[in-house]
Homo-oligomer: A and B are copies of this chain.
């Protein structure tokens, strides 16, 4: 952790290519399975990515274990085309409460000191509330949104591409960006061609629609000697 790839559809690139092929072929699935060679898989995936025809990507699923702050996991679980099973604060006692420490805080001694103190105070209050007979589900109202939590998340490859487009962008918050990049790195390890072009729109499509709120990365990519390629 914080991110592990627990399971994935076996041979994910091949099943995606097969799905793409079946749409345009008179052959049976079994015939296609037999005939499709690995070079064709690569060409098909490359074409689908270029054209943005990513519906066949849905046939490949990836299941992750993720540890992050509640703040971050709340952002993640807003992606509705995915499945989640999250540790419950109603049922699991927050005995070893850990709070994620943002880089902006850990790089600032004064900030770190008061944050740690506040978290420690919340922890103490939580335990005292339990001691007073308050149920866990209510005592947790004092816990910080930065408290560490964990979940299992399953995404198909198309929904992952959408996630990477939004969350690898510099305008996403650092924590979910870190998570998204780690997820991308893990799926690239098992399906490099399926995720050859993946990430923020500036990197993948050479476009940025953030307007005045753009981070400026696209301009830097264009100014680079090789035009960002």
A interface list, Cβ under 8 A from B:
1, 4, 6-11, 15, 18-20, 22-26, 28-30, 33, 47, 50-52, 55-56, 58-59, 61, 63, 65, 67, 69-71, 74, 77-78, 80-81, 83-93, 95-96, 99-102, 104-105, 108, 110-111, 114-115, 117-119, 121-122, 125, 128-129, 132-135, 137-138, 140-147, 150-152, 154, 156, 173, 207, 209-211, 213
Q: Assuming the A-B contacts A59-B63, A141-B146, A173-B137, are A118 and B122 also in contact, with contact meaning beta carbons closer than 8 angstroms in the complex?
A: yes
- CB pair B29–A85 under 8 Å, yes or no, is no
Q: A213 — which chain B residues lie within 8 A by C-beta?
A: 51
Contacts of A152 in B (CB 8 A): 15, 18-19, 22, 29, 59
Asked if A145 meets B134 with Cβ closer than 8 Å, knowing A23-B91, A30-B4, the reply is no
List, in ascending order, chain B residues with CB within 8 A of A25's CB. Answer: 87, 92
Q: Is there contact, CB below 8 Å, between B150 and A145? A: no
Contact of A115 among B92, B93, B110, B142 (CB under 8 A): B142
Assuming the contacts A26-B93, A129-B114, A209-B52, asked whether A85 and B67 have C-beta atoms less than 8 A apart, the reply is no
Q: A71's contact among B20, B89, B104, B122, by CB below 8 Å, is which?
A: B89
**Do A51 and B118 touch (CB < 8 A)?**
no
**B19→A85 contact, CB < 8 A:** yes
List residues of chain B with CB within 8 A of the CB of A102.
134, 138, 141
Question: Which 4 pairs across A and B sit closest by C-beta, in order of nearness?
Answer: A141-B146, A58-B83, A29-B65, A102-B138
Interface secondary structure of A, over-half rule: mixed
A152 to chain B: closest CB distance in Å? 5
B138 and A141 contacting across the interface, CB-CB below 8 Å: no
Q: Are B144 and A71 in contact (CB under 8 A)?
A: no
Q: Are B61 and A9 in contact (CB under 8 A)?
A: yes
A24-B141 contact given A29-B152, A132-B111, A209-B52, CB 8 Å threshold? no
Q: Which of B20, B29, B83, B99 lies in contact with A156, CB distance below 8 A?
A: B83
Cβ of A157 to closest chain B Cβ, rounded Å: 10
Which of B19, B93, B144 sits near A122, CB closer than 8 Å?
Answer: B144
Of the A-B pairs whose beta carbons lie under 8 Å apart in the complex, a sample of 27, sorted by A's number, is A1-B30, A19-B85, A25-B87, A26-B95, A28-B67, A29-B65, A29-B150, A51-B209, A51-B211, A59-B85, A61-B154, A74-B74, A74-B77, A80-B81, A89-B145, A99-B141, A104-B135, A105-B141, A108-B132, A111-B132, A115-B141, A119-B142, A140-B146, A142-B146, A143-B144, A154-B156, A207-B207
